Amino acid sequence: MGKKRIIQKSDEELIKEREKIDAGLKKEAGVRVSPAIKEGRIYISSSYNNTIITLTDSKGSVLAWKSAGSVGFKGTKKATPFAASKVAEAISLAARKIGVSRVEVMIKGIGSGRESALRSLATHGFEIVSVRDVTPVPHNGCRPPKARRV
């Protein structure tokens, strides 16, 4: 076996490559860049199978979104609290790029990632204005079946 040769790149090539990677990440991550947004809303949808976190502006236009699957978890691991905290970490990075710091948090669903996602958002430096549970609750149940005729 011969010597291994390492190709050295110049600073300009490294900068161009880094810009290309960043542009690709913005497209992949689902990040829309809007000018100077300081406040927003974060919707946490936690089911038995996945955790999806969406970042919107105050009007409701989606700026960024992440799910446990898009972060890299597969199968039953997507529904774990650890996966939810990693999703919250990824959405906080996207929010930093956009410039969002004050958020209202809406939590929906009954999955195991609810609380850990909220805690993770708080530890990543968001100023949380309010936390609301918007889980749909049936108020009168579904319609009973017709009477059986014999």
The counts of H helices and E strands in the chain are 4, 5
Residue 100 in tokens: 């969002």
- Residue 86 in any domain: the answer is yes
Helix (H, G, I), strand (E, B) or coil at 130: strand
| Domain, as residue range, for 108 | 36-59+80-135
CB 67 within 8 A of CB 87: yes
pLDDT number for residue 116: 93
**How many whole angstroms separate alpha carbon 100 and alpha carbon 55?**
9
DSSP conformation class of 57:
-
DSSP letter at 145 equals P
Would 44 be classed as within a structural domain?
A: yes
Residue 74 within a domain: no
Residues 32 and 59 sit within 8 Å (Cβ to Cβ)? no
For the chain, the domain total comes to 1
Q: Is residue 108 part of a domain?
A: yes
Domain presence at residue 141: no
H/E stretch holding 29 reads helix 11-29
pLDDT digits (tens, 9 = 90+) for 75-128: 999 999 999 999 999 999 999 888 898 999 999 999 888 999 999 999 998 899
Closest CA relative to residue 83, chosen from 66, 72, 68, 67: 68
Span 31-52, pLDDT tens digits: 555 556 789 999 999 999 999 9
CATH code: domain of residue 47: 3.30.420.80
> In this predicted structure, what is the pLDDT of residue 38?
85
Residue 125 lies in a domain: yes
Tell me the whole-structure pTM to 2 decimals: 0.71
Q: Is residue 150 part of a domain?
A: no
